[in-house]
Amino acid sequence: MSYFSAVRLYSAIEATVFSTLLVVWIGGLSESAKQTLGWVHGFGWIILCLVVYRGAVKRIFPWPLLAATVSPLGPLGCTLGFEVLVRRRPTRVG
């Protein structure tokens, strides 16, 4: 698996954790689930920022992807950024 694909997958997983945290928080559901998801998301987002930064330094990702990652949208912004990148890639012939 390439670095690009691995970070893209990790971004999608982190976006799922973040979305689940929002549902639990807005819905006023389990306090322990909210706390656990909060910690998982917090550390997960920091790791996501670091791996996207590393990819930008190595020129695997463009710098705007890091901006999308550290934006208030967090992992959702990163996942959307990856989808834009994938759709803009030139298709390979042959």
Q: Render pLDDT for 18-38 as a digit per residue (tens, 0 to 9).
A: 999 999 999 999 999 999 999
Q: Does residue 94 fall inside a structural domain?
A: no
Q: How many CB atoms lie within 10 A of CB 58?
A: 9
Q: Does residue 58 fall inside a structural domain?
A: yes
How many Å apart are CA 36 and CA 21, to the nearest integer? 9
Q: Does residue 12 fall inside a structural domain?
A: yes
Q: Does residue 31 fall inside a structural domain?
A: yes
Q: Does residue 93 fall inside a structural domain?
A: no
pTM: 0.86
Task: Report which DSSP code applies to 30.
Answer: -
Query: Is residue 94 scored above 80 in pLDDT?
Result: no
Angle at 56 between CA 64 and CA 68, to 5 degrees: 30
List helix spans (H) across the chain.
3-26, 31-57, 63-70, 75-88
Q: How many domains does the chain have?
A: 1
Q: Does residue 32 fall inside a structural domain?
A: yes
